[in-house]
Structure 1
Amino acid sequence: MLIWGCSAVSWTVNTYKNRDFQPNKLQWMLAFVPWTKSLQLTLAFLFWYTCLSTNVCSLWISFGAYITGILFQTSAFTSFFLISHGYCITCNHLSISERRTIAAVGSVFYLTLVGYRASVPYFSVLLLLNYFVVFYVIFYHISQNLLVLRDQLSFIDDEDVQAMRDAIYTKYVMFKKFQGAMHVVAVSELALFINMDNSLESYWIRLMVRECAQFFIFLYIGWIFRCQEFAPRFSFMPALKSKEAPAGPPIYSIEMDAATFKEFTSHEWHIGVPTLPRKGSLKDSVLVVIQQPHA
Structure 2
Amino acid sequence: MEDAIEQVPKPVITNPSEWEESYRSLLYVFSGLLVTWMVLVLVWTLNTWTRRRWQTSNLQWMLTAVPLLKSLVLGLSFSFWYSCLNLSTCSFWVAFGVFVSRIFFETACFVSFLLIAHGYCTMHEQLSVSERRSIAGLASLLYLTLTGYKAAVSQFSVLVVLIYGLLLYVIMVHIARNLSVLREQLQQIQDGGVHILHTAIYTKYTMFKKFQRAMLMMVVAEILMHSRADGMANEYWMRLLVRELTEIVIFAYVGLHLALPPL
Normalising by structure 2, what TM-score? 0.81
Q: Any conservation in 2 of the 1:85–1:142 contact (CA below 8 Å)? A: yes
The 5 A counterparts of 1:91-106 are 91-106=124-139
Are residues 11 and 213 of structure 1, via their aligned partners in 2, closer, same or farther at CA, if it must alter by over 3 Å? same
Which consecutive residues of structure 2, in runs of 5 or more, have no partner in the other structure? 1-33
Give 2:71's aligned residue: 38
Based on CA coordinates, which of the two structures has the bigger radius of gyration? Answer: 1
Give 1:210's aligned residue: 243
Q: When you count helix as a share of all residues, which structure comes out higher?
A: 2
- For 2:211, give the aligned amino acid: F
Matched, 1:15 2:48: yes
The 5 A counterparts of 1:134-173 are 134-173=167-206
Runs of 4+ with deviation above 4 angstroms: 193-197
1:211-267 Cα shifts (integer Å, max 9, x gaps) = 00000111011122236xx6xxxx33xxxxxxxxxxxxxxxxxxxxxxxxxxxxxxx
SS at match of 1:66: helix
> Whole-Å Cα distance in 2 between the matches of residues 138 and 14 of structure 1?
25
Give 1:177's aligned residue: 210
Matched, 1:88 2:103: no
Matched, 1:221 2:254: yes
CA-based RMSD of the aligned residues comes to 2.0
Matched, 1:5 2:38: yes
Displacement of 1:169 in angstroms is 0.8
Identify which of structures 1 and 2 has the higher relative contact order when contacts are C-alpha pairs closer than 8 Å and 6+ apart.
2
Are residues 52 and 203 of structure 1, via their aligned partners in 2, closer, same or farther at CA, if it must alter by over 3 Å? closer
Q: When you count strand as a share of all residues, which structure comes out higher?
A: 1
Displacement of 1:67 in angstroms is 1.2
Which consecutive residues of structure 1, in runs of 5 or more, have no partner in the other structure? 237-295
Give 1:130's aligned residue: 163
Displacement of 1:16 in angstroms is 2.5
SS at match of 2:197: helix
Displacement of 1:196 in angstroms is 6.1
Give 1:186's aligned residue: 219
- For 1:111, give the aligned amino acid: L
> Whole-Å Cα distance in 2 between the matches of residues 5 and 209 of structure 1?
18
> Whole-Å Cα distance in 2 between the matches of residues 134 and 194 of structure 1?
21
> Whole-Å Cα distance in 1 between the matches of residues 52 and 122 of structure 2?
17
> Whole-Å Cα distance in 2 between the matches of residues 159 and 201 of structure 1?
58
